[in-house]
Chain A
Amino acid sequence: MTAQATLPRHAGAAAAEAPLLSVRDLTLHIPVPPHVLRAVDGVSFDLRRGETLGLVGESGSGKTLTALTLMRLLEPPLDHLPRGQVVLDGQDLMLLTETRMSALRGHAISMVFQEPMTSLNPVMTVGRQIAEPLMRHLGLPTRAAMARAEEMLRLVGIPDPARVLRAYPHLLSGGMRQRAMIAIALACRPLVLVADEPTTALDVTVQAQILELLTELQREMGSAILLITHDLAVIAETAHRVAVMYAGRIVEEAPVAELFADPRHPYARGLLASIPRIERMPPATLPEIPGMVPGPAERPIGCAFMPRCARAISGCAAEPPPLAEVAPGHRVACWNPVHG
């Protein structure tokens, strides 16, 4: 698997088009006395029609919280903390009432979660769970919604959809349940699909099938996908562009091929170097990034990566670096980026 195998299909056309989803300065600062945990710290990105943006980072880098924040799915007491803009098709989701937001969820913007085993209601048939958003958002009567649900099951590659329609989730395997989750999320043909580690809980062979399914359905429906993962292989296979997150911030954003070929941020570079590659066999030792992601207490005022960074210079401690364009479509937040 190489990065070149999945050159962004829409790169040329998409650049001209206005973004479908535009996230600006999204912030989630959680007070954890005596500190403030900057879980999401000024995240900005654009997502265009038919595009897949991979959001990659270690656990704890704020990927999932970014997703839950932009979906407005945070539970109290976190629900009042987010700041920033999430503009979907012209309207700022952050300004909507919960009622209006609830009318968009599952309709204009949907989400697939990491845990297919627990994300489905155990006492409701799969069919009813898929039919639910269809009835709610498109106003379909039960019978029509169930027919569409069966169609969706067929679309996500479930064999014998008529049987699965009436089945309860516990009868399905993890891969099948994730397909059902995707069917739920895509039932109303949303503009944007947020997929949070959709394949992490699955077997490797099933992972590939699910990713292929997502790509295929995207081509068919034209939805934009925000694909959250810690797995660079998943990004290389599926995404057009990639944003690397570290400690609540996006540190580098570029088209997939470009990032894999020419990472500018020392962290992104370290992340890519830590992937084992066939051509580097036999491996000596895999290079690793020294140190750990800083906790909320020890996060520096300046660049959060500085304590672990081999390229740190004197200015790094003073101020966090802004995300600046170094090449067309390639942005890096680093005071001393690597030069290609």
Chain B
Amino acid sequence: MIGFIAKRLLQAVPLLIGVSLIGFGLMHLAPGGPLAIYTLNPTIQVQDIERIKVIFGLDQPLHIQYVKWATGIFSGNWGYTFFGGRPVLDVILERVPATLLLMGSALSVAIVLGLSVGVLGAVKRYSVFDVLATTGALFALSFPTFWFGLMAIFVFAIELRWLPSGGMWELGEEGNLLSLLRHLVLPTMVLALVITATWSRYSRSAFLEVMHQDFMRTARAKGVPPGARLLRHAFPNAAKPLIALLGVELPFLFSGALVAETIFGWPGMGRLFVDALSMKEYPVLMGMMMFTAIFVIIGNLLADIAIALIDPRVRLS
């Protein structure tokens, strides 16, 4: 097990180098460059821009810039923001709690709901419930998140005035748990809607596949009652593809949801990305890319370990 984890982490190094190369390359191929914004400012002289270039090291050859940045990534120095000069890692990490809270609650709600809907749909296949759930899932998946977000704000914040329309706290109430929860409801609902739809589809097909296997008939022939058949026999077998799915969704937990966070003014990673993009904050964008890549790798590693714990046929080697 420890050998397996060490091996997978070692394999991750070339992967991360690849990601960093592609990301770095793309950023520098993008038109404009980090200093484009200054050229539009009439009060800035050409020599000022040259000076800024030297300060940020942007005058050096590209490969030197890359090596400096990449060694920084692996040694914990992720560079500094162009505006404000703050450490990139700090800027990213301070957004993690908000995103983790929003995505964590959305994902938990969605998994519980989606799994229940999916399992029920598989057990009562082609029933009215199943047809409604399938239609509902397709509906939720075919409308864009921003539409649901705006509708939720319109109905619950503007018309009914039940919940705040955005932000994380009321002004002056920072740290108030009740205020936080009230602000959390709408974005969680909107995000969970889409994830629930995905999860209900995945869990329905995973359970359908398992429920028609021979060993499920054996369980029935042994007299195992339906609930225990579902929990003890079907669930561990159906869980494998779902855990793999969770492994893929884990980085989502940390990268945040661009649209939902933007609409609801949630100060998480998604908003940071949108802001950094519009301000051409290359160090932040590249930092976030590396951050997400690391969590993709960790998520998949955790999923593989969990699958091996459930299924004795899977050996970690």
| B is a partner of A | yes
In the complex, are the beta carbons of B311 and A123 less than 8 A apart?
yes
Residues of A within 8 A of B225 (CB): 99, 102, 136
In the complex, are the beta carbons of B215 and A102 less than 8 A apart?
no
In the complex, are the beta carbons of B221 and A168 less than 8 A apart?
no
In the complex, are the beta carbons of A123 and B220 less than 8 A apart?
no
In the bound assembly, the distance between CA atoms of A104 and B225 in angstroms comes to 11
Is B43 close to A, CB under 8 A?
no
In the complex, are the beta carbons of A121 and B219 less than 8 A apart?
yes
B207-263 residues at the A interface, CB under 8 angstroms: 213-215, 217-226, 228, 232-233, 236-237
Is A110 close to B, CB under 8 A?
yes
Is B313 close to A, CB under 8 A?
yes
Residues of A within 8 A of B236 (CB): 123-124
Residues of B within 8 A of A268 (CB): none
Is A133 close to B, CB under 8 A?
yes
Beyond A118-B213, A118-B215, whether A133 also contacts B312 by CB under 8 A is: no
B181-209 residues at the A interface, CB under 8 angstroms: none
Is B112 close to A, CB under 8 A?
no
In the bound assembly, the distance between CA atoms of A122 and B239 in angstroms comes to 13
Residue among B214, B222, B226 having the largest count of chain A Cβ atoms under 10 Å: B222
In the complex, are the beta carbons of B237 and A121 less than 8 A apart?
yes
Is A106 close to B, CB under 8 A?
yes
Closest Cβ neighbor of A130 among chain B residues: B222
In the complex, are the beta carbons of B311 and A115 less than 8 A apart?
no
A110-126 residues at the B interface, CB under 8 angstroms: 110-111, 113, 115, 118-124
In the bound assembly, the distance between CA atoms of A115 and B218 in angstroms comes to 11
Residues of B within 8 A of A105 (CB): 220-223
Residues of B within 8 A of A170 (CB): 312-313
B269-317 residues at the A interface, CB under 8 angstroms: 310-313
In the bound assembly, the distance between CA atoms of A113 and B220 in angstroms comes to 12
In the bound assembly, the distance between CA atoms of A284 and B157 in angstroms comes to 90
Q: Which of B226, B232, B313 contacts A122 (CB 8 A)?
A: B313
In the complex, are the beta carbons of A123 and B312 less than 8 A apart?
yes
Please encode chain A, from 208 to 231, with 1 for each CB lying within 8 Å of some chain B CB and 0 for all others: 000000000000000000000000
Closest Cβ neighbor of B225 among chain A residues: A102
In the bound assembly, the distance between CA atoms of A118 and B313 in angstroms comes to 14
In the complex, are the beta carbons of A119 and B222 less than 8 A apart?
no
Residues of B within 8 A of A184 (CB): 218, 222
Closest Cβ neighbor of B313 among chain A residues: A170
CB distance from B219 to the nearest CB of A (A): 7
Residue among B214, B228, B237, B310 having the largest count of chain A Cβ atoms under 10 Å: B214
Residues of B within 8 A of A71 (CB): 221
Is A144 close to B, CB under 8 A?
no
Please encode chain A, from 236 to 272, with 1 for each CB lying within 8 Å of some chain B CB and 0 for all others: 0000000000000000000000000000000000000
Residue among A99, A106, A168 having the largest count of chain B Cβ atoms under 10 Å: A106
Residues of B within 8 A of A113 (CB): 214, 217-218, 221
Is A28 close to B, CB under 8 A?
no
Residues of A within 8 A of B213 (CB): 118
Residues of B within 8 A of A99 (CB): 225
Please encode chain A, from 78 to 113, with 1 for each CB lying within 8 Å of some chain B CB and 0 for all others: 000000000000000000000100111111001101
Is A73 close to B, CB under 8 A?
yes
In the bound assembly, the distance between CA atoms of A10 and B215 in angstroms comes to 34
In the bound assembly, the distance between CA atoms of A73 and B217 in angstroms comes to 8
Q: Which of B215, B223, B237, B312 contacts A119 (CB 8 A)?
A: B215
In the complex, are the beta carbons of B222 and A132 less than 8 A apart?
yes
Is A299 close to B, CB under 8 A?
no
In the complex, are the beta carbons of B223 and A137 less than 8 A apart?
yes
Closest Cβ neighbor of A117 among chain B residues: B214
In the bound assembly, the distance between CA atoms of A107 and B224 in angstroms comes to 11
Residues of A within 8 A of B222 (CB): 105-106, 110, 132-133, 136, 184
Q: Which of B215, B221, B224 contacts A110 (CB 8 A)?
A: B221
Is A181 close to B, CB under 8 A?
yes
In the bound assembly, the distance between CA atoms of A181 and B222 in angstroms comes to 10
Closest Cβ neighbor of B237 among chain A residues: A123
In the complex, are the beta carbons of A124 and B232 less than 8 A apart?
yes
Residues of A within 8 A of B217 (CB): 73, 113, 119
Closest Cβ neighbor of A171 among chain B residues: B312
In the complex, are the beta carbons of A121 and B218 less than 8 A apart?
yes
Q: Which of A104, A122, A133, A136 contacts B237 (CB 8 A)?
A: A122
CB distance from A188 to the nearest CB of B (A): 9
In the complex, are the beta carbons of A103 and B215 less than 8 A apart?
no
CB distance from B124 to the nearest CB of A (A): 10
In the bound assembly, the distance between CA atoms of A103 and B224 in angstroms comes to 8
In the complex, are the beta carbons of A73 and B219 less than 8 A apart?
no
Beyond A118-B213, A122-B311, A122-B313, whether A136 also contacts B218 by CB under 8 A is: no
Would you list 30 pairs from A and B whose C-beta atoms are within 8 A, ordered by A residue? A99-B225, A102-B223, A102-B224, A105-B220, A105-B222, A105-B223, A106-B221, A106-B222, A111-B221, A113-B217, A113-B218, A120-B215, A120-B218, A121-B215, A121-B219, A121-B237, A122-B215, A123-B236, A123-B310, A123-B311, A124-B232, A132-B219, A132-B224, A133-B224, A136-B225, A136-B228, A137-B223, A168-B313, A170-B312, A170-B313
Additional A-B contact list (20), CB under 8 Å, known A105-B222, A107-B223: A102-B220, A102-B225, A103-B223, A104-B223, A110-B221, A113-B218, A118-B213, A119-B215, A121-B215, A121-B218, A121-B237, A122-B237, A122-B312, A124-B232, A124-B233, A132-B219, A132-B224, A133-B222, A133-B223, A136-B222
Query: When A and B form their complex, which 10 residue pairs have the shortest distance between CB atoms, in order from nearest?
Result: A106-B223, A106-B222, A168-B312, A105-B223, A118-B214, A121-B215, A111-B221, A133-B222, A119-B214, A123-B236
Interface residues of A (CB under 8 A from B): 71, 73, 99, 102-107, 110-111, 113, 115, 118-124, 132-133, 136-137, 168, 170, 181, 184-185
